[in-house]
Chains A and B, each alone.
Chain A
């Protein structure tokens, strides 16, 4: 085997070996070479040292309120449509679902109130056809009433002329 350090492409093999990402069949070949090559041995030693030094770099845990801060930001960006539909969708969490229920209920109430108000405003106004019908019916009724009154007058006149008192 040629020394991997002769070319950068092959040096990649050494890097993979040190990071334990080399295929098992190549490991044996490389280890035989490392045993006789001082430069590769030094490369592997220093790379392992870097790997262990990086292992020591542990980070602090994520803040406990990370999720709640994120959900607050998401809440601040959702549309009314999303708020309305949320109770019918799987929630982020149960708490989020309960928080969204009052908003959805309020929105439903507003919607219903709007529909009712609109209905009330429309219902009392008669249609123009109805007005025309009333206009056309009224004179006939008046005419019939006048005819009836005239007949009653004539009838009472006859009754008065035929009665004995009237002859006296």
Chain B
């Protein structure tokens, strides 16, 4: 009976997504499957958290906590939703808490003068001029400030919509709200961003 239930859950998970199936293997003690999940989602989680808190060190610390929580919850994991929905729900929850705790306050101050966390541009054969680089940095700062100015939930919704290419329904599940609420959040967020960034075209 228990075997049949396990098989049924496994089949449902496989139908749902491969990540959920991997997580069920982790639940059964397969550490290698956890490694596969980490490899697959590490970058997207860290980048999402970085864009949320805008501090690379804090983002990585939060991402560690996300994967630690995933690992800790393995014994109680049930594939009731897409794995990424669950993963980003944990990530968003931690990011919102960090923002409310003011963990990244020092970061906001550093936005003015910090360049250490900016990605190194891989342009070995077409090296930009100093002017081009400065224009790029100014553009980047403007984007970062515009995103930072958004209310936290709008920010999370935009980042999941734009960079993770999530559907409205999935964002709704991550943010624990209705699909229409997500559409409304996104509409208002893009309205604000259009007002601030439309001139950059």
Q: B119 touches which one: A11, A58, A74 (CB < 8 A)?
A: A58
A148 to B161, CA, bound (A): 108
Chain A contacts for B50, CB-based, 8 A: 59-60
Q: Which of B98-129 contact A (CB under 8 A)?
A: 117-120
Q: For residues 32 through 58 of chain A, which have their beta carbon under 8 Å from a beta carbon of chain B?
A: 43, 45-54, 56-58
The B interface is mostly helix, strand or loop, or mixed, namely helix
Alpha-carbon separation in the docked complex, A48 to B142 (Å): 16
Q: Is the CB of B198 within 8 A of A74?
A: no
Which of A84-92, A113-121, A134-142, A150-158 lies at the interface with chain B? A84-92
A123 smallest CB distance to B (angstroms): 38
Given the complex of chains A and B, what is the CA–CA distance between A165 and B163 in angstroms? Answer: 130
- The count of chain B contact residues (Cβ–Cβ below 8 Å) is 48
Residues 167-201 of B at the A interface (beta carbon under 8 Å): 183-184, 186-187, 190, 193-194, 197-201
CB neighbours (8 Å) of B143 from chain A are 53-54, 56-57
Is A126's beta carbon under 8 Å from chain B?
Answer: no
Complex Cα–Cα for A49 and B200 (A): 6
Number of A-B contacts (CB under 8 A): 109
User: Closest Cβ of chain A: how far from B128's Cβ, in Å?
Assistant: 13
Q: How far is the CB of B145 from chain A (nearest CB, A)?
A: 11
Let me know if B186 and A15 touch, CB within 8 A: yes
Given A69-B64, A90-B29, 16 additional A-B pairs, CB 8 A: A12-B183, A15-B190, A47-B190, A47-B194, A49-B200, A50-B190, A50-B198, A53-B139, A59-B50, A66-B42, A73-B64, A89-B29, A90-B30, A90-B33, A92-B31, A93-B35
By Cβ-Cβ distance, the 8 closest A-B pairs, closest first, are: A49-B201, A46-B198, A92-B31, A90-B32, A46-B194, A89-B29, A53-B197, A59-B47
Of the A-B pairs whose beta carbons lie under 8 Å apart in the complex, a sample of 14, sorted by A's number, is A15-B186, A19-B161, A45-B198, A49-B200, A50-B198, A52-B201, A57-B147, A60-B50, A60-B120, A61-B119, A62-B42, A77-B72, A89-B31, A90-B33
- Contacts from A to B (Cβ < 8 Å): 8, 11-12, 15, 19, 43, 45-54, 56-63, 66-67, 69-70, 73-74, 77, 85-86, 89-93, 96
